[in-house]
Amino acid sequence: MPFCEGKFAVYTNDATLIRQSLCIRDYCVVFKPAECVPVNIRLTESVIFGGFLFKHYGHFLLESLARLWFAKEHPNFPVVWVGRDGLLLDFQLEIFELLGLKNPIRFIDRPVSIHKLFLPDPGYLIQTFFAPEHQAFLSVCDPEPVRAGKKIYLSRRHFGGESCLTNEAELERRLVQKGFHIYYPEKHTIREQLAYLSSAEKILSLEGSSLHTLILLRELKSQILIIPRPQTEINHNYLTIAQHKGFCQSYLPDDDLYQNISPVTQSHVQWRGELNLDRLLPMVDQPDWSPLAFYRSIFTSNFQ
């Protein structure tokens, strides 16, 4: 049953819902099951169920690719998707190429019966599970050699949509004074991002999907420091990915990190605030961002 009015589903021949076909996260089922209706179209080939085709960059990386570890092992079987439309965006096509996927693509926009449907277990589940075989499937790019002293800030200022930071321009100006390169990932290809980021000694970023690009690297020697969004706990995906990929990653504590916080309506951003740069920048100056050194330094400074 294709995606329609916020629902889709896969059923057996006797109209039994296959729950594993749904888009499941550790805290919810994202889309409700569509009602099983009579089918007039039949596919006689064997195909692989890809799941829901997200347009959102982060959810595409983590969820739409989650079953494709099986597709890589069976390149002759087409992959069928459900979603709002079958248009593949440029970044999706580039990621398919990076992953070496050769499978034909089918998009289901009406009820259809399929001769044989392979339904692989998702290799990634928001926010808690990352299977070894899926990690291996996604790890396709070698990092560049790290350039000593290279520090990057991943900016969202020109990304489009509302930002949760009201003073990101000032943050960038102050970081440039400290030797940071300001990087706008949406202006570069995925390959370019992977090469540029992996060559950095340090990567500073607001919590956001641009960090998920690093999941495509075989390894990463850079140190990552994440700025949480105002009034929001760090998404557990970053911890899950870092633990399984072996990333050296820390998070800025959110106490006193923002000021002038206000709610936002009609936007994907729930809260907007002004970063307390006098609080943030001394922490960014820490020479070692590895968790043990970084948190020990903050703890010590807070109690002096």
**Domain of 257: which CATH number?**
3.40.50
108-127: b (≥16 Cβ within 10 Å) or e:
beebbebeebbebebbbbbb
| Residue 77: predicted pLDDT | 96
| Residue 107: predicted pLDDT | 96
Q: How far apart are CA 215 and CA 171, in angstroms?
A: 27
Give the residue among 230, 183, 235 at the shortest CA–CA distance from 205: 183
Q: How far apart are CA 227 and CA 58, in angstroms?
A: 17
Question: In the chain, what is the straight-line distance between the N-terminal and C-terminal CA atoms, in Å?
Answer: 62
Instruction: Check pLDDT > 90 for residue 231.
Output: no
- In sequence order, the β-bridge partners of residue 48 are 79, 118
Structural domain including 171 reads 151-285
Instruction: Check pLDDT > 60 for residue 87.
Output: yes
**Is position 49 within any domain?**
yes
**Is position 163 within any domain?**
yes
Per residue in 96-152, pLDDT (tens digit) is 999 999 999 999 999 999 999 999 999 999 988 999 999 999 999 999 999 999 999
Per residue in 136-167, pLDDT (tens digit) is 999 999 999 999 999 999 998 877 656 788 89
In the listed set 110, 138, 166, which residue is the last one of a domain according to the structure? 138
Least confident of 44-48, 88-92, 212-216, 256-260: 256-260
For the chain, what is the domain count?
2
| Residue 109: predicted pLDDT | 94
Instruction: Check pLDDT > 60 for residue 304.
Output: no
| Residue 160: predicted pLDDT | 64
The label of the residue with tokens 């690297």 reads: 217
Q: Are residues 23 and 129 in the same domain?
A: yes
